[in-house]
Amino acid sequence: MVFGNIKDIKAYGMLEEQVLMCLKWAKEHDLTGLSAGRHEIDGERLFVNIVEYRTTAAQERFWEAHRDYLDVHLMLTGTEQIDLNFISNMDVKEYQKETDFLPMDGEKKVSVVLEEGDYLVCYPGDGHRTAVAVEKPSDIKKAIFKVQV
């Protein structure tokens, strides 16, 4: 897991080239103007999903991880808490290859709060629970870059 803000890209020069490519691409494009859905950047190797939803209570959300892609969550508008734990600490369910979805159950180890411009990189070993409300439900718009590993 890596947590940062897009305005500080230079401080994270050690990140993988593909992750830096996501952040640079975000700075060069108006992501808030993109409609919800998938937008291709480099075919299956790199694309971005624009999502819009309302955050809610943690107990109403699910845990997930991925094997084929890492996620770069970039908050465009609103505020969201993302809970995290290593998948080795979780009760892992059956992996769904066709959707690259690894469901799991467990407790959070840490949380991060994403506000406008904040990003969170979730690697394949990082279980994450998104869309958790901070204090009260909030409408958000977020870019989720999918980087093939």
Domain spans in the chain, listed from the N-terminal domain onward: 2-148
Distance CA 21, CA 24 (A): 5
Q: Could you tell me the maximum CA-CA distance found in the chain, to the nearest angstrom?
A: 40
pLDDT band at 23 (very low <50, low <70, confident <90, very high): very high
Distance CA 142, CA 114 (A): 10
Q: To the nearest whole percent, how much of the chain has pLDDT over 70?
A: 99
Distance CA 113, CA 103 (A): 22
Q: The CATH number of 2-148 is which of 3.40.50.300, 3.40.190.10, 2.60.120.370, 3.30.1490.190? A: 2.60.120.370
Q: What is the pLDDT of residue 10?
A: 72
pTM for this predicted structure: 0.95
> Tell me: the pLDDT tens digits for 58-92?
999 999 999 999 999 999 999 999 999 999 999 99
Cα distances from 149 to residues 75, 78, 110, 118, 135, in angstroms, run 22, 29, 24, 22, 35
Distance CA 15, CA 20 (A): 6
> Tell me: the pLDDT tens digits for 32-50?
999 999 999 999 999 999 9
